[in-house]
Structure 1
Amino acid sequence: MTEAFTTGTPKGRFAPSPTGPLHFGSLIAAVASYLDARARQGEWLVRIEDLDLPRQMPGAASLILRTLEQYGFEWDGEVLYQSQRDAYYQDALQTLSTHGLLYPCGCSRKEIADSATHGIDGLVYPGTCRHGLSPGKNARAWRIRVDDQPISFHDAVQGEIGQVLSRDIGDFILKRADGLFAYQLAVVVDDEMQGITHIVRGADLLDSTPRQIFLQHALGYATPEYLHVPVAANAAGEKLSKQTLAQPLDSRDTTKDLWDVLAFLRQSPPIDLLKENHAYLWQWALQHWQPNSIPRQRAITV
């Protein structure tokens, strides 16, 4: 791992959650973000998104870092752990509150389900607590007020993406009922603090991006460029994950796994690369990185 950051250079990142070991789907996001950053002569950072303590697997964070090393990844600077950054998230929350964008919500999940409509990423919060808590209600979570202004961005693979948050998402949670900060807030704060200029990740997060852009604007942050690669799916069309019993990576054949990722991303790796070690494969991949060849799909069955 290299040491210091260089100011003014492009920065990408890989931000796994330590809910289990890395699998093929994780490797796709890691390879794509790494190649994109290094092809720009930029830095590549690793962030462990360990906010959701109840879902963590003991030892997973260390296992993830060892696996990355075994596959030949080299990251810049220190690894960032979200679990150590509550003070920064609280500061951002206070800024949003000062701007009048935050309000307490006392609704239970059942109450929301009983009155909400379905949006593009789950239930659309109906705004029950937007103008104050009902008598007898206590604050369970904190939400941000969204508006009806369209938010659109150009994704380097998926093309033009747009949402109207008030219609498609609703006022979303920034601090949960259990006291934990929400992913949407933490990722925005950390990307700004780390100076991330190019976000390359799986297309399962594509629908979260307008929320993150909304928060960036509200906090006065810069908006990075985005590239969302297709996620690997099983025969049932489900994203490979711990929940869908995705097999952990086996580092005994790192070259084959990396070759498979390049093929998944339609980088057309020569079959002869399978005879080489992974260092040689990385060299080839960096010289031939073609983001325009990545399929414009949200998922590909493997």
Structure 2
Amino acid sequence: MPDFPAPTVGRFAPSPTGAMHLGNARTALLAWLHSRALGGRHLLRFEDLDTGRVRPWAFGVTRRDLEWLGLDWDAEYVQSQRLDVYADALARLTAAGETYPCTCTRREIAQAIQESAGAPHGTEPVYPGLCRTHPPDPGRPAARRWRVPDQTVCVRDAFTGETLCQHLPTEVGDFVLRRNDGVYAYHLAVVVDDAATGVTDVVRGLDLWTATPRQVALQRALGFLTPRYLHVPLMTDFRGERLAKRGGAPPVQALREEGEEAGRVLATLARSLGWEVPETVTARELLPLWRRTLEEAGWSLSSQS
């Protein structure tokens, strides 16, 4: 684990593809509690590179929802305004011979995986390296893939204490850094942004845990420090399924505009974490509970609070 200078820098990084639901709000709350409990700075970053899914109104709604819940931030970044830093990082990797053009279609990749005798049986398909060993089709637009090193990368979660190891070539595969439509991929952008803005601690949903080793590998390739990662459980509905915008999860905006008290919403989020709180509570009143949670996870906060 790297030795970061004080203060801690955390972030909340929503995608402005719609209004925040309660699951998003709980992750936002925990990210804010972590930054503030350690006396650090807190950043808001809009991850809006997938322009086809972005809803322009979602920027303002997200800001108002966060302000309503009492979750302030010290600086704001918008990924679509930072394309030059992603281009620079990709150029560095390409100059080092670590990327290659790829013109494979999804159908071709799926067919190659199905036909391969060594097809993986993991949780996600692994790119079989078609364009790594064969020239791309000059008649198609090309994506840019990272030629992953032949390494096993292990990451320890600073919240759960779990360690995840992945052999990059067989469990991850060469992944896309820039799509064939010119859009920079999530993994490149998030790694570059965290490094460029000095993020030391990443609190995010458990669904991103398996993506962490590849991001750490990319950080190492670019010479960046690796932040501490804390993956928190996703909020689920009565069926035990994760809340999602596309699944119709109730938006925070609706609660706010219908006159609900922010303190009652925060109390609901806190109780979903197993915390005993009154009917209404402020975000700052939850700071001692997060500090206690960290201490129970083995953190020593005496020198950080």
TM-score range normalised by the length of the shorter chain: 0.7 to 0.9
What residue in structure 2 maps to residue 145 of structure 1?
147
CA contact (8 A) 1:33 1:201 kept: yes
CA contact (8 A) 1:124 1:167 kept: yes
Aligned CA distance change for structure 1 residues 127 and 211 (closer, same or farther; 3 Å): same
1:9 CA drift (Å): 0.9
What residue in structure 1 maps to residue 130 of structure 2?
128
What residue in structure 1 maps to residue 265 of structure 2?
257
CA distance in 2, matches of 1:20, 1:101: 36
Aligned CA distance change for structure 1 residues 135 and 54 (closer, same or farther; 3 Å): closer
1:176 CA drift (Å): 0.4
CA contact (8 A) 1:157 1:228 kept: yes
1:120 CA drift (Å): 4.2
Aligned 1:3-82 pairs, distance under 5 A: 8-77=6-75, 79-82=76-79
CA contact (8 A) 1:21 1:248 kept: yes
Q: Secondary structure of the equivalent of 1:124?
A: coil
Aligned 1:257-276 pairs, distance under 5 A: 257-266=265-274, 268-270=275-277, 273-274=278-279, 276=280
Aligned partner letter, 2:7: T
* Consecutive unaligned residues in structure 1, runs of 5 or more: 1-6, 295-302
Aligned CA distance change for structure 1 residues 141 and 211 (closer, same or farther; 3 Å): same
Q: Secondary structure of the equivalent of 2:216?
A: helix
Q: TM-score, normalised by structure 2?
A: 0.87
Q: How many residues get paired?
A: 280
CA distance in 2, matches of 1:236, 1:148: 41
Aligned partner letter, 2:171: D
1:107 CA drift (Å): 0.3
What residue in structure 1 maps to residue 109 of structure 2?
112
What residue in structure 2 maps to residue 288 of structure 1?
289
Aligned CA distance change for structure 1 residues 148 and 292 (closer, same or farther; 3 Å): farther
1:58 CA drift (Å): 2.8
What residue in structure 2 maps to residue 157 of structure 1?
159
CA distance in 2, matches of 1:63, 1:204: 24
Name whichever of 220-229 and 154-163 sits farther off.
154-163
The answer to whether residue 90 in structure 2 is matched with residue 93 in structure 1 is yes
Aligned CA distance change for structure 1 residues 110 and 236 (closer, same or farther; 3 Å): farther
CA distance in 2, matches of 1:198, 1:172: 24
Aligned partner letter, 1:186: A
Name whichever of 210-219 and 146-155 sits farther off.
146-155
Identity %: 41
CA distance in 2, matches of 1:288, 1:138: 54
CA contact (8 A) 2:120 2:170 kept: no
Aligned partner letter, 1:260: T
Aligned CA distance change for structure 1 residues 196 and 172 (closer, same or farther; 3 Å): same
What residue in structure 2 maps to residue 220 of structure 1?
223
Q: Deviations over 1:95-120 (max 9, x none)?
A: 00111110000100100011124564
CA contact (8 A) 1:12 1:33 kept: yes
Aligned CA distance change for structure 1 residues 42 and 107 (closer, same or farther; 3 Å): same
CA distance in 2, matches of 1:220, 1:236: 43
CA distance in 2, matches of 1:118, 1:237: 28
1:257 CA drift (Å): 1.6
CA distance in 2, matches of 1:152, 1:211: 10
Aligned CA distance change for structure 1 residues 291 and 9 (closer, same or farther; 3 Å): same
CA distance in 2, matches of 1:247, 1:188: 31
1:170 CA drift (Å): 0.6
CA distance in 1, matches of 2:211, 2:176: 13
CA distance in 2, matches of 1:178, 1:119: 29
* Consecutive unaligned residues in structure 2, runs of 5 or more: 114-118, 298-305
CA distance in 2, matches of 1:237, 1:111: 35
CA distance in 2, matches of 1:54, 1:25: 23
CA distance in 2, matches of 1:44, 1:165: 32
1:293 CA drift (Å): 6.0
What residue in structure 1 maps to residue 303 of structure 2?
none
Q: Deviations over 1:59-96 (max 9, x none)?
A: 0011100110011111112x100011111100000000
CA contact (8 A) 1:12 1:43 kept: yes
